[in-house]
Structure 1
């Protein structure tokens, strides 16, 4: 094996260049954002939620708390997102390792017959260590690491966006289930009251106080109410299964869902008061989808430096140290020593536009990433405004239907009194009861929609409100592998 020594004159003068990274340094694009939310939104943002991370707890529902926490632990989508973070962390580890020397142990054995005139077969044995290192003259490896780190953080923020979506889906599906259960209870109560009314009318028929037509009307109304029950029960089972998928554990969903408490949805804590204090620019750090889009932009920006560095010469250093002998007994003797130091520089001359096309491609990717980042911000602002408008509308609907239910109850009471007094027919009583039944179902729908709109607003605002110090801890945990 050839022994050689290549002088590394000027090496100290080139190594320092490894800190000079080509390509543009990242600067957050200027995005036009309103300085404040519309007045009707801003008036509600009077609570400091800097330490609040679990926004769904505002509903004060222990069953919902349990379902959301179990979903974050067991949901398949969140597990996939978490696995992708681990994968991105491995890529970052690989890029970091590329910036350090690589040491390999090598064992070579060769046996050959020199032919006529020789002393018979000869054996050559070599054991040596080989150290190789690429000097990062133009910052290609540094930019690659920068891109990998941004991709890791982007994957982590995407995971957080998935978690936020799962939280919102669990909350919305849970309230859908509760609303359906309330409508089942309302229907069953109505059926029971109609059964009692039918029994009363049959007694009145026997005494001659009413007619057969009235009894038949009562029977028809009872069966009409019964007809709506199977579809409600089927919907409840469908929502139960949907919760099972979201939570990732069907047993956990079944347990406790049959005892939801005595309070209706409209009696849950007021959702318009106590929104977290926020300004539009907070969305840049609070919404994980925006953070993920910015991370993709940072990675695309760093890739420009990687592509540009491919235009310039590369410098690779290598060192070899070991022994080469004809017999094992000669190992580790001075005469068998083997060493070599070498340096290799490669510079592109002609590639028919390959590297230029690569640069143009990554520059376009960077432009696309910036547009996507700006689009994510614009969408976020619109989503907050839309979610607020929807919440305000649903809040008004609940108040309107609450007043309607109160009025319908009085209408039923008066209709029954007038019927018993002989002033109106039984059909008027049935109409009043039917209207009350429908108003109660509609109130439940409106209460569910208000709660769903609340969840949508919190989702649009970014969910939890961790402070900057907490956010930095999250980023450090992600990179170290504990997050």
Structure 2
């Protein structure tokens, strides 16, 4: 319920019904002879405030009224631009969107790092237990040539080697044919190694790198657009909060002005009662109206305090009393508008939320392409260099630093990975369909926002002229009713009705102008014509 509805409801509840207030004009008394009474002033004999056919005159009459003077901007006062700027600087939701951009940028870095060649180094020391390779204590190998005449070869026998060391093959004369010393290899007990390894994902460069990079870039752009969209939303909400505060300011001005008039009428009625020209009931009726207006002022002050506190919380600053710094009686600047269907199409092309969702869909599509690369065999290149003491590539092992290297390619294929890839692709496709449906739902919501804001603005434009004319007429009607009442040609009910009409007309006049600012702001937001910086485009 709006502030004007609340205050008018309070007035209508507090004031007696019109039928109960109907009373005949007060009879002339001896203290106030009829011949000396002030002449009755008909409404048609007085000029109406402002020419009904002249909008400029109507606007001038409003600006000269207590309501217009109370809403006159002051230097250093609060404006919607100031509220938007301070709100953006202190908005947690905008900071959350900024964190999302940083997270997307980190994921992009992770994606690119995952495709870099893997280079690793490793160093180690190992203490080995004692061990040796023993080839025995000596051996003899020999052969005897047969005689030249083709006689049978002399037999070779095995016996003790000269010196008694091992067994040897002996010729028929008992001489060893070949003698070998004992052979034994000792393994070093301390092992040192330095290794460098390089792995290159060749197949990933061909199949996965491009779509993975594009997907991460799309995710980061989507996060950036979402941040900008949140900035526009924060600005819009801040301006609407400011306009809501202006409603409370205007309502308080209208009710306080009405109370001053009613208190003046109460003094007039009291004087008439003292003169015998009014009844006690007339005094009590006007006094009841004063009480109801005082109650409405308390409500209006509470509403203004709540609105000021909401502004302070929005801007993240201590609560205090603000002054008006923006001219709300003048219409906000707005470029010429095309047809409604063209506005909806424009909104679908400019709204940052929709563009962010579309970039998210692109990111998922690239993710599907990158995942499908896992259907194919994987090809990797590798290289390794080792500098070790002892180096296992050299035999026999000796405690000496030596270098060696190796390089090659490897082709691998895993059936389980193919099954997992198929499930991952199905998941990504489900995510994509969900985002597409969300985008369609958002398009319909944006269309409704544009339609609502467009017609609200048209209604506000029409209401401004009518409400300003009504305010001028109600002010003149109240003046005529007051003079007629003093002349005895009007009743207390006429005064109360005229007062209620003037309060209602004042609230409608300022509400129509604030409604125009609200509708224009919402239309700029709905059509995407508001930049993240707050400028119109």
- Fold-level match, TM-score > 0.5? yes
CA–CA distance in 1 between the matches of 2:312 and 2:402? 71
From the CA coordinates, give the structure whose radius of gyration is larger: 2
Structure 1 regions of 5+ residues with no counterpart? 1-59, 328-332, 472-483
1:71 match: 87
CA–CA distance in 1 between the matches of 2:249 and 2:511? 11
Pick the aligned partner of 1:236 from 288, 294, 304: 304
1:96 match: 112
Q: CA deviation at 1:139?
A: 2.3
1:359 match: 425
Residue pair 2:475, 2:502 contacting (<8 A) in 1 also: yes
Residue pair 1:84, 1:155 contacting (<8 A) in 2 also: yes
Residues 210 and 307 of structure 1: is their aligned pair in 2 closer, same or farther, counting only changes over 3 Å? same
- Say yes or no: does 1:162 pair with 2:230: yes
Residue deviations 1:144-167 (CA, integer Å, cap 9, x gap): 221111111111111111111111
1:133 match: 200
Q: TM-score scaled by structure 1?
A: 0.74
Residue deviations 1:219-268 (CA, integer Å, cap 9, x gap): 10001011122322222233233323332x223x64xx5221485x3x13
CA–CA distance in 1 between the matches of 2:419 and 2:385? 40
Pick the aligned partner of 1:124 from 155, 176, 191: 191
- Matched ranges for 1:139-178 at <5 A: 139-178=207-246
Residue pair 1:148, 1:299 contacting (<8 A) in 2 also: yes
2:359 match: 295
2:382 match: 318
Residues 344 and 174 of structure 1: is their aligned pair in 2 closer, same or farther, counting only changes over 3 Å? same
Q: CA deviation at 1:193?
A: 2.3
SS in 2 for 1:319: strand
1:219 match: 287
Pick the aligned partner of 2:247 from 173, 179, 184: 179
Residue pair 2:226, 2:356 contacting (<8 A) in 1 also: yes
Q: CA deviation at 1:384?
A: 1.9
SS in 1 for 2:464: helix
Residue deviations 1:19-39 (CA, integer Å, cap 9, x gap): xxxxxxxxxxxxxxxxxxxxx
Worse-matched range after superposition: 386-395 or 354-363: 354-363
Residue pair 2:126, 2:190 contacting (<8 A) in 1 also: yes
- Matched ranges for 1:395-410 at <5 A: 395-410=461-476
1:205 match: 273
Structure 2 regions of 5+ residues with no counterpart? 1-75, 134-184, 392-398
1:191 match: 259
Residues 116 and 104 of structure 1: is their aligned pair in 2 closer, same or farther, counting only changes over 3 Å? closer
Worse-matched range after superposition: 132-141 or 454-463: 132-141
Residue pair 1:137, 1:314 contacting (<8 A) in 2 also: no
Residues 215 and 421 of structure 1: is their aligned pair in 2 closer, same or farther, counting only changes over 3 Å? same
Residues 174 and 428 of structure 1: is their aligned pair in 2 closer, same or farther, counting only changes over 3 Å? same
Residue pair 1:105, 1:130 contacting (<8 A) in 2 also: yes
Residues 338 and 446 of structure 1: is their aligned pair in 2 closer, same or farther, counting only changes over 3 Å? farther
Worse-matched range after superposition: 287-296 or 113-122: 113-122
1:109 match: 125
Residues 175 and 318 of structure 1: is their aligned pair in 2 closer, same or farther, counting only changes over 3 Å? same
Q: CA deviation at 1:62?
A: 6.0
CA–CA distance in 1 between the matches of 2:295 and 2:216? 60
Residue deviations 1:162-183 (CA, integer Å, cap 9, x gap): 1111111001110000111110
CA RMSD of aligned residues (A): 3.1
SS in 2 for 1:345: strand
CA–CA distance in 2 between the matches of 1:285 and 1:339? 59
1:260 match: 324
1:250 match: 317
Residue deviations 1:342-367 (CA, integer Å, cap 9, x gap): 43322133568433232233233333
Residue deviations 1:273-308 (CA, integer Å, cap 9, x gap): 545998655445521111111101101211221221
Residue deviations 1:38-76 (CA, integer Å, cap 9, x gap): xxxxxxxxxxxxxxxxxxxxxx98622122112222211
- Say yes or no: does 1:448 pair with 2:514: yes
* Number of residue equivalences: 397
1:304 match: 368
- Say yes or no: does 1:389 pair with 2:455: yes
Higher helix share: 1
Q: CA deviation at 1:416?
A: 0.8
Q: CA deviation at 1:335?
A: 4.2
